[in-house]
Amino acid sequence: MDDNLAISSNEFDRLTYSRLDLDREIIDCTALANSCPLDNGRLGLDRKSTGRSQKPLGALDSLPLELLHNILQSIGLQSLTALRAVNIRARTIIDSYLPYKTIVAHASNSIRALLGTQLASRFTSQQIYNTLCSDRCFLCGDTGPFLYLLSCSRVCFPCIIDAPELLPITSNTAKEAYALDTASLRSLPTLRSLPGVYSQLWIKSPKRIQLVEKSVAEAAGVALHGSSQAMEDMVTHRKQEQAAAYKTRKARAATDPSIKCRTPSCFTQRFDRQGANTHRFLGIMRFPSLNRVTSRLEWGSSCNGCRGTSGQSRARRWTRMFTQDTFKDHIKDCEPSRRSLVRIRDSMS
């Protein structure tokens, strides 16, 4: 039975379809390529550049290439990009480094996105390469054809919509919620969003905002104040101060119309609108998976058989995506796809 369900590339293509509609809800890679061009492969070695290539790299020139590549493993993408711009010699060394070379060849938009969102200093090319060579969502273990930039982790679309771990908060919200000071706030990995259209409601987000992960911000608050209880006490104290100041302003505004009295943020309850929450999509981009053994690159496809499903699980089944390997397990539980596979094989016999 399992042998009969082993599918070929042609059968996989006929049983699935590409979810190009989901690309409208996340970072626009087409616009990204236009606004953040890379010089990889575009700069030739003319007479001037050939002369520049002979310029030394100081002490690095005395090291063998293998050792230089080992050093590059621990250099952040931002520093790697800056080093690559020094001269042709540096560019040649970096371009020959397998993880960087593979990323440029198969997922260059991830470099653009990390540079554009100002997260490039947080991750090395080795980390990005490791994520590229995986195919599973780090939260649920399902196929994950998307990249969550704040942690450089692979994620699936159902988790993007409803996982609490994938709901970043603004820097100001983090500052209030965890009583952070300026220094602690600046130390957090911070994503600066790219203007575009996001969420399942296609909401325009023209302004660039700063987002951080909740768990990281909370950990910084605990470290700053010494304990969770001390942090919560400080948060409560600040809210009480805001409430007292608001009460005073409101009393003055009752007799003086020129005084503006805006409700403080501590009185505002925030709701997660899941698929309609732009914050969930500002740090997400489409990301392929590379099979190291077969060198096959896959972007994820959805099951044709799940299009007509109904019930509570419909939304999750409809937004799930698969590679050819992971679809083999899915088809065991998908009766419409199994019937379609039989028809395809009968027509070819």
Joined together, the tokens standing for residue 184 give 């602690």
CA distances to 145, 322, 345 from 18, rounded to whole Å, are 11, 10, 22
Which residues, in sequence order, are bridge partners of residue 106? none
Q: DSSP 3-state assignment of 311?
A: coil
Residues 6+ away with beta carbon under 8 Å from 226: none
Residues 6+ away with beta carbon under 8 Å from 22: 157, 286, 319
Distance CA 33, CA 304 (A): 31
Distance CA 347, CA 342 (A): 9
> How does residue 312 score in pLDDT terms, banded at 50, 70 and 90?
very low
- Which letter does DSSP use for residue 55 in this model? S
Joined together, the tokens standing for residue 333 give 């539980």
> How does residue 274 score in pLDDT terms, banded at 50, 70 and 90?
confident
Min mean pLDDT across 10-24, 210-224, 253-267, 317-331 is at: 253-267
Q: How far is CA 333 from the centre of its chain?
A: 30
Min mean pLDDT across 159-173, 188-202, 313-327 is at: 313-327
Average pLDDT estimate for 48-64: 66
What type of residue sits at position 177?
A: A
Residue 315 is predicted with a pLDDT of 54
Condensed to tens digits (0 to 9), the pLDDT of residues 218-257 reads 999 999 999 999 999 999 999 888 888 878 887 888 787 7
Asked if the model's pLDDT at residue 272 lies above 70, the reply is yes
Nearest by Cα to 34 from 109, 91, 102, 101: 109
